[in-house]
Amino acid sequence: MRRSSVLPGFGVSAAITSLVVTSLIIIPLSVLILRAASLGPAEFLEAAWTPRARAAYAVSLGASLVAAAISSVCGLLVAWVLVRIDFPGRRLLDALVDVPLALPTAVAGLVYSTLYVEKGWLGRFLVPLGIHGAYSWLGIVLVLVFVSLPFAIRVVQPVLESLDRDSEEAARMLGASRVQTFLQVIFPAIFPAVLTGFALALARALGEYGSVVFISGNMPFKTEIAPVLIVSRLEEFAYAEATAIAVVLLAMSVSLLVIVNWLQQRVANNSQ
């Protein structure tokens, strides 16, 4: 049953794979969940549902949703331009989109916070207008857009590339306006991909720590995200509380993973 193949190496590769997956993924995450479960419902709630923790979930979820939405809209626009329009520097723009994947998040956080402070390159124009991009909720959104933008672009791009142009031309010839064609022909076809990009961007944003810790100022109840709260609990050796908050965050990420998988299956089915 297990082998449909005469190829060698099943045993070795199965051994290596299960060793790594078990020791790095299954055991650590099980220990985390068991540790949280050992608290008991009342204790768990007390640890995971304090006013400060609730505020942190709200900041995390709110900023991540806004950032993922911005990334999805900007991502669709950039992907559209990269696929549909030929212009000098297209290749360069395409390559630059990958920068956030390669640039360490700590560097991104450091640079963003220095750009948007009062004396920074961008802050000197924005702060007089009352726009504070550093040590604020807006700053969190800015770095989260930075880290999640490539996901939104790279999911939509191949789908746009493989889009059938015939139905578009047909719609135009039958008298549909450009806006109508986009809304009624193109958008329905790429919507699952846009949604997948949104979910991936959201998952990335929810877990992000490195860049946010620089720019948010980490003020409890205001700009403290859940991962930052986990770290500060951990540094106080409040393991139970840190674990409980981590499990709530993990539950959010896992439900997103399930949604992403489901969406990707739908995208795969649609393109067949």
Partner 1 sequence: MPKPTITSANPLTHRLLVAAAVGIVGLLIVVPLTSVFAEAFAEGPAAWWRALAHDPDTRHAIWLSLTVAPIAVAINTVFGIAAAWLVSRFRFPGRSLLITLCDVPFSVSPVVAGLALVLIFGRQGLLGPTLATLGWKVIFSWPGLVLATTFVTLPLVVRELIPVMEAIGPEEELAAVSLGASGWQVFSRVTLPNIRWALLHGIVLANARAMGEFGAVYVVSGHIAGATDTMPLRVEKLFQEYRTPASMAVASVLAGLALVTLVAKFVIERRLEAEARELEAARSLPDTIDGSSTPPDAGPHTSTHGPIA
Q: Which of residues 192-211 bind partner 1 (CB under 8 A)?
A: 197, 200, 203-204, 206-210
Cβ proximity to partner 1: between 7 and 42 the closer is 7
User: Which of 134, 260, 263, 267 is in the footprint of partner 1 by CB under 8 A?
Assistant: 260
Residue 63 touching partner 1 (CB under 8 A): no
Residue 56 within binding range of partner 1, rule CB under 8 A: no
- Sign of the C-alpha dihedral computed for residues 45, 46, 51 and 54 taken in this order: negative
Give the integer Cα–Cα distance in Å for 134 and 127. 10
Residues 18-47 that bind partner 1 (CB under 8 A): 20-21, 24-29, 31-32, 35
Q: Which of residues 67-106 bind partner 1 (CB under 8 A)?
A: 74, 77-78, 80-82, 84-87, 89, 93, 95-106
Q: What's the rounded Cα separation, in Å, for the pair 266 and 193?
A: 9
**How many residues touch partner 1 (CB under 8 A)?**
106
Residue tagged 């929810």 (tokens): 206
Asked if 64 and 202 touch (Cβ cutoff 8 Å), the reply is yes
What the block records as the tokens of 41 is 């419902």
Q: Which one among 155, 194, 195, 263 touches partner 1, defined by CB under 8 A? A: 155
What type of residue is 227? P
Q: Under rule CB under 8 A, which residues in 109-148 are in contact with partner 1?
A: 110-112, 114-115, 121-122, 145-146
| The only residue of 45, 125, 161, 177 in contact with partner 1, by rule CB under 8 A | 161
Task: Give the single-character DSSP code of 131.
Answer: -
271, 162 in Cβ contact below 8 A?
yes
Alpha helices in 85-209 (DSSP H): 90-96, 99-102, 105-116, 123-126, 137-161, 165-173, 178-181, 187-207
**Least gap, CB of 121 to partner 1 (angstroms):** 6
Site string for partner 1, 219-258 (x = CB under 8 A): -------xx--xx--x----x--xx--x--xx--xx-xx-
